[in-house]
Structure 1
């Protein structure tokens, strides 16, 4: 059993890690290569770490869960839509904006979720925001289930759902990992395997193992696993960055961004895992003090920790 004070710090870290990764990665989004010198310069800047829709939607989900510890899909869809309407320029993709606008206009979330893309979105938007479910779940499988429920309201495609499930389970494992022992990457991946009943996702997990075995750098990992806006092409890289560099928070963030591509979202997902394992107190202070929403994150973390678990 994790002491309550430690659990609170780790839930706080999960949310803060998302925001830090988002803010650090945002300036490099879309670049195929991120020069180490540019990343170092930005890392040591004192400029505020403004966040994107990644953090906005993560905090919406965390706030939603803080009320009852469960997901009401209709209410959650409305919550997401209201947040988008309030700040539409936070970097939402065109497809996500269309879905949320439909919900706001009175279309049911089930209809809206498949109205833009045939079969629903396969993007990483559901995975990028899903980490808070780890705080109210009792197992990786339960976290994955909650992750799918939260994903369905905007990302109905199987890959959108699988990506959210995998990231949710990874966040649960990170949140409840034993800090007195080194992170066991093989055991971590073993426990992720059952949450994605998909051959192509299982192949990604095997690729992560192979990359870890040969100590691949960020560029090679991105080339093998992907670094784009799809769930299949980004969630595995975030998990790999955590497993490869997660024992040193700063190195994990830099590794996630160094892979290029959808840097804000990949770093946000990596950051959620890093923060969940080490807690807010172990994240670089020079970064957490730059977060745009630092006080809001602290307050929401406190409410999320108080939410019932496994209801």
Structure 2
């Protein structure tokens, strides 16, 4: 929904400002939160990214994040996925590159395991890009759509599950 995605964007952007002073980091965080909000509401990944781009356009200095997401969308539509295409989006050491890599991998690969593997098999900040891709795929498919044997091994899984259940219950109440 538009309102909840806008709220998610604003809250994530504000939280990011506590640790990252550059506006692009805040906007990438906000865009991720908006994308996840749209996915949880039932949108496709491409639709969620396009809606997040519309939110971004309302903010000054959004251009770096917008350009990175547009590159990811364009690249995902250009044939078979590859590590070279991932690397063309950057190394993932900065927020907009990490988000673009995650979006590209989630869009370009149709199988969840292949998308996750693509998101971590590059020479940059692969733990960040893999985490972001996993967040997108988890929001899109739910935990039942993720590889069970991988989910079982997540550190802190019990705490994450409890927090996710609490968040889901809170969202249903609204």
Within the candidate set 139, 148, 167, 2:32 is matched to 167
Deviation at 1:291, TM superposition (A): 1.8
Structure 1 residue 200 corresponds to structure 2 residue 64:
yes
Residues 202-222 of structure 1 show CA distances to partners (whole Å, capped at 9, x for unaligned) of: 222331232122125342223
Q: How many residues align?
A: 170
The equivalences for 1:284-295 within 5 A come to: 284-295=147-158
Which of the pair has more CA radius of gyration? Answer: 1
- The alignment's TM-score, normalised by the length of structure 2, stands at 0.84
Structure 1 residue 250 corresponds to structure 2 residue 110:
no
Between the aligned partners of 1:310 and 1:237, the Cα distance in structure 2 is 34
Between the aligned partners of 2:3 and 2:111, the Cα distance in structure 1 is 26
The equivalences for 1:267-286 within 5 A come to: 267-286=130-149
Q: What is the match of residue 229 of structure 1?
A: 93
2:69 alignment partner, SS class: helix
Within the candidate set 241, 254, 265, 2:105 is matched to 241
The equivalences for 1:56-135 within 5 A come to: none
- The alignment's TM-score, normalised by the length of structure 1, stands at 0.50
8 Å contact from structure 2 (residues 119, 130) kept in 1: yes
Q: Which runs of 5+ in 1 are unaligned?
A: 2-136
Specify which structure has the higher proportion of helix: 2
Deviation at 1:184, TM superposition (A): 6.0
Change in 2 beyond 3 A, CA 1:290/1:141? same
8 Å contact from structure 1 (residues 151, 164) kept in 2: yes
Q: What is the match of residue 150 of structure 1?
A: 15
- C-alpha RMSD of the superposition: 2.5
Change in 2 beyond 3 A, CA 1:203/1:302? closer
Q: Which runs of 5+ in 2 are unaligned?
A: none
Identify the structure with bigger relative contact order (alpha carbons < 8 Å, sequence gap 6+): 1
Structure 1 residue 219 corresponds to structure 2 residue 83:
yes
Deviates more, 1:204-213 or 1:160-169: 204-213
Structure 1 residue 259 corresponds to structure 2 residue 122:
yes
8 Å contact from structure 1 (residues 176, 277) kept in 2: no
